[in-house]
Amino acid sequence: MKVSQQGVQLIKESEGLRLQAYRCPAGKWTIGYGHTKKARAGMVITADKAEQLLQEDIRDIEGTLNNSGLILTQNQFDAFADFIFNFGAPKFLSSTFYRYAKASSSDPRIPAELRRWVHSTDDNGNTAVQPGLVKRREREIALYLKK
Q: Which of 24, 51, 62, 138 is catalytic?
A: 24
The fold for domain 5-145 equals Lysozyme (1.10.530)
Per-residue confidence at 24, pLDDT binned at 50, 70, 90?
A: confident
Task: Decide: 121 and 53 in contact? Cβ < 8 Å.
Answer: no
Please give the Cα distance from 137 to 82 (Å, whole number). Answer: 9
pLDDT tens for 109-146 read 999 999 999 998 877 888 999 999 999 999 999 999 99
pLDDT tens for 54-107 read 999 999 999 999 999 999 999 999 999 999 999 999 999 999 999 999 999 999
Catalogue the long-range contacts made by 4-9 (C-beta closer than 8 Å, 24 or more residues apart): 4/74, 4/77, 4/78, 6/75, 6/78, 6/143, 7/74, 7/77, 7/78, 7/79, 7/81, 7/82, 8/54, 8/58
Q: Does residue 15 have an active-site annotation? A: yes
pTM above 0.85, yes or no: yes
Q: Which of 13, 15, 56, 62 is catalytic?
A: 15
